Amino acid sequence: MQIHFVKAAPLLFVLLWSTGFIAAKYALPFIEPFYLLFIRMTLTALVFTSLCFLFKSGLPKIPQALHQLVSGALVHGAYLGGVFAAIKWGMPAGIAALIVGIQPVLTAFLGRLFFGTRLSAVQWFGLVLGFCGIAAVLLSTGQQETVSLPWYAVAAAVTALLGISLGTIYQKKFGKNVNILSGSVFQYISAALLMGLLTLSFESRIVVWDIQLLLALAWLIFGLSVSAILLLMYMIREGETAKVASYFYLVPPVAGIEAWILFNEALTLLGIAGVIVTVTGVYFVIKPHHLRQSRRSKLPETCAHADD
């Protein structure tokens, strides 16, 4: 059962994470982005607190809690806050996603820097191929023809890129022995505080409480902030950082397909080709690991332990 869950976790994560863009599109006509994120993070922290009581998860030690505060500020706060700020300050969403789409390559580089993780030439090729696929998907929207990129919007998008990349590495290094539920409480408290500062600084916090907003907010909390993030933390704990990060390449193409189905947004031949290239790139990143593992399992027991 556990083996099947490990195999299904990346697919479930991609499907859940991709719906965040869809839910945001439903919610943002009724609320400002930072205020939406503040409410989302605050309510999510309460949900995880309830889950901790339900499953009797103990509180992490003070050093562990501090590490989770940092992870939350990076993975949730800097990433989401940076993307929303870049879009708010004039950057097209597609270009913001393209900048953040460099994350798997940056995470792979940081993984090698901090952990000495070695990637094969095929895996590096897969990472670059995946990035090219994302570029094709996003540039197919035609948004690049009317782009205005003020420096502060670019800085916000780069902040989001650094936040999710460094957050993945930081959580891998310092979040190994932390209970996922209790650790998530501190992560979302940190993100809520950051979003609170941003909304107080830049927004009016006026909300039109519509049923569409409430449903979208509920999905953002339970579908993404709870389910998808638990899957992400599990994948980071159990897998290689470069391999986990490569799954983010699949999110923009899947989100594009969902937008095409739900909002009738154009999906060009270039975009479809980009989806195929992206999936191929992720395959190259993941497959060598499975090949080495299967070959190793076929060795005689004495030989298999000789490399340990």
- DSSP string for residues in 30-58: GS-HHHHHHHHHHHHHHHHHHHHHHTTPP
pLDDT value, residue 67 = 93
Asked if residue 281 belongs to a domain, the reply is no
Asked if residue 191 belongs to a domain, the reply is yes
Distance between CA atoms of residues 284 and 256, nearest Å? 22
pTM for this prediction = 0.72
pLDDT value, residue 69 = 95
Those residues whose C-beta lies under 8 Å from the C-beta of residue 146, and which sit 6 or more positions away, are none
Neighbours of 114 (CB within 10 A): 14
Taking alpha carbons only, the member of 62, 65, 80 closest to residue 21 is 80
DSSP letter string over 74-103? Answer: IIIIIHHHHHHHHHHTT--HHHHHHHHTTH
Residues of the domain holding 73:
2-120+142-236
Asked if residue 283 belongs to a domain, the reply is no
Below-50 pLDDT ranges, the chain: 1-5, 143-144, 290-308
Domain total for the chain? 1
pLDDT value, residue 234 = 76
Asked if residue 260 belongs to a domain, the reply is no
Measured distance between the N- and C-terminal CA atoms of the chain, rounded to whole angstroms: 27
* Residue 300, helix vs strand vs coil: coil
Asked if residue 48 belongs to a domain, the reply is yes
Neighbours of 232 (CB within 10 A): 23
Q: The tokens of 138 are what?
A: 């996003």
Asked if residue 192 belongs to a domain, the reply is yes
- Under 8 Å between Cβ of 90 and 148: yes
Asked if residue 113 belongs to a domain, the reply is yes
Taking alpha carbons only, the member of 236, 216, 230 closest to residue 188 is 230
Asked if residue 290 belongs to a domain, the reply is no
pLDDT value, residue 169 = 86
